[in-house]
Amino acid sequence: MFGLIAVTAMMVCYALEQRGRGYVLGFAGSCVLASIYGFAQGAWPFGVVEAVWALIALRRWRQPSRGSADHGLS
C-alpha cells in the first residue's frame, strides 16, 4: 500500500508541475518515498532511479522560476 501511495502521489505531482513549484517539491518528496519503498522491497535499481529523480526534482525546485528571472537584462 505504501508503494502505491508513493507512486500515485509522484504521478499526480508530475502531472500538475506546471501549476506551481510546490508540485515539483511534492514530486521530489514522493520520489524519495518511492525510493525508500524500492530499497525496502529489495528492488535496489528502482530505488536508485527514484533517488536520482528526487535529486533532479529538488534541483529544479531550487532554481528560480522562469517568469521571475530577469535574464541578465540590466
Residues 68, 47: Cα–Cα separation, whole Å = 34
Range of the domain at 37: 2-63
Please give the tally of structural domains in the chain.
Answer: 1
CA dihedral 20, 27, 58, 67 (to 10 degrees): -20
The torsion angle over the Cα atoms of residues 73, 66, 29 and 8, rounded to 10 degrees, is -170
The answer to whether 61 touches 21, Cβ cutoff 8 Å, is: yes
pLDDT tens figures, 7-28:
999 999 999 999 999 999 999 9
**pLDDT tier at 72 (50, 70, 90 boundaries)?**
very low
Segment (H or E) for 51: helix 44-62
Would 15 be classed as within a structural domain? Answer: yes
Average pLDDT over residues 62-73: 61
pTM: 0.80
42 is a domain residue:
yes
